[in-house]
Each structure stands twice: as C-alpha cells, then as structure tokens.
Amino acid sequence: MELSFYGGNCLKIVTKKATIVVDDNLKELGQKTITKDSDIALRTNPKLIAEHNSRFSAETAGEYEIAGVVIHGIAVRAHMDSEDQQTAVIYSIGADDLKVAILGHIYPELSDDQVEQIGHVDIAIVPVGNNGYTLDGLGALKVIKQIEPRVIIPTHYADKGLKYEVPQVELIEALKALAMEPVANFDKYKPKAVELTDTTQLIVLKRQ
C-alpha cells in the first residue's frame, strides 16, 4: 500500500490491485483533479464538488468490495450538521493487510455503534483545519481516543497553494492541540502491518 496527499482532504491510496482517491475536490481548491477513469472515488460528504469520472464512486454509507478492496461507509454527523443529521461518511478501507479510516469533516463525537462499525484502525486520516469548517486539534484528539489508530495522518490545514472556502489553521497550531510530534515526514507513505506498533504515531505527508 502507498498513500499520497494532495491537499485539502484528498488522498490517493494505491493497493496491489486498485487505486482509491478520496475527496478529490481539488479543482475547487485551485488545483488539478487527480482521479482517473480506472480509480475508485470516495467522497466523505456529498456536498463536496468532484468533477471527474471514475471506475466506481461512493458518497453514502454502505458496504462495497472492488478489486480486493473492502470498503465500509459509516453514516455520521458532519461538523456543521444539526444534532439529528448524519450527512457525512467515515470510510473504513481494508486492503493489503491494513485498515485505513478516512474521517472527513465530522462532528467530534461518535456513538459506540459507530466506533464498533469502524473497528480496528491501522491508519486514520484526520482533518485538523478548524475555523468552524472541520475538526480542530482538540476535536481530532477526541475522535482519535475513540478509534485508537496506530498511525495518524493530519489533513485539511492551511496551505498557500490552496484556495479554501474557509481559512484553515496552520499545521503547527493544530499539532499543539493534538499534543503530538510527528515521528516522520514523507513524500509518500508505504506502511507495512508488521512495522506498526501499539503506540499511536503521527506522520505528516507532504502535498504532491
């Protein structure tokens, strides 16, 4: 498995048999879309504008299996939802003996049932940009404690190369609230299940 970060909440996950692209609204952010016709495209919120074609796409809760990749979408409350709404989706992606959870712009409070549906998490992709748009560091930490991932990768923080609808905080500020130091910075991350420890680690991916 190989993970690459493209800014915003957009991530590309390359497995042995498939390529998954998450939240490719890059055109809206002033960048070029990266999704190809042969890719699996996932959106954590149907409000995200995505202008591309794909092999398979999902934006709602459900269970899917494509090219050896097992995807479980769990309906959750979005950061800006009212208490009785659940317009966001957390994706649990299983492939190559690893499990990746994509959190998206969620409200920082998961039910026991939602945590159970997410299950074991090796790598959690967590937005931290705050300013009323997505999780801040404290909210991210609250969710992290609920799902207990082995690796955390922060996303959706301030970037001069991106045109956010709402300004986002700098990564260094978000990490202060998380009270964690990155153990590594990668251009691309190639995790191996046997190398992961029970101690949660923070990894920063450079934008491609």
The confidence score (pLDDT) of residue 190 equals 97
Whole-structure pTM value = 0.95
- Report the SS3 class of residue 97: coil
Q: What is the rounded distance in angstroms from the CA atom of residue 208 to the CA atom of residue 201?
A: 22
User: Does 149 have pLDDT greater than 80?
Assistant: yes
51-80 pLDDT, tens per residue?
778 999 999 999 999 999 999 999 999 988
Q: What is the mean pLDDT of the chain?
A: 94
Measured CA angle at 125 (ends 152, 37), to 5 deg: 145
2-205: which CATH number, 3.50.50.60, 3.30.465.10, 3.60.15.10, 3.40.50.2300? 3.60.15.10
Q: What is the rounded distance in angstroms from the CA atom of residue 62 to the CA atom of residue 68?
A: 16
Q: What is the rounded distance in angstroms from the CA atom of residue 89 to the CA atom of residue 107?
A: 11
156-200 pLDDT, tens per residue?
999 999 999 899 999 999 998 888 899 999 999 999 999 999 899
The confidence score (pLDDT) of residue 145 equals 95
Mean pLDDT value across residues 127-136:
92
The confidence score (pLDDT) of residue 178 equals 87
- Whole-angstrom CA distances from 127 to 4, 48, 97, 143, 183 are 15, 15, 24, 11, 18
Radius of gyration of the chain (CA): 15
Percent of the chain with pLDDT over 70: 99
23-54 pLDDT, tens per residue?
999 999 999 999 999 999 999 987 776 777 89
Q: What is the rounded distance in angstroms from the CA atom of residue 54 to the CA atom of residue 12?
A: 13
Domain locations along the chain: 2-205
Percent of the chain with pLDDT over 90: 86
Residues near 56 by beta carbon (within 8 Å), at least 6 away in sequence: 40, 41, 64, 66
User: Does 90 have pLDDT greater than 90?
Assistant: yes
The confidence score (pLDDT) of residue 207 equals 97
Check the CA dihedral 135-139-141-142 and report its sign.
Answer: negative
The confidence score (pLDDT) of residue 47 equals 75
The confidence score (pLDDT) of residue 46 equals 76
The confidence score (pLDDT) of residue 177 equals 85
Residues facing 94 on adjacent strands: 70, 99
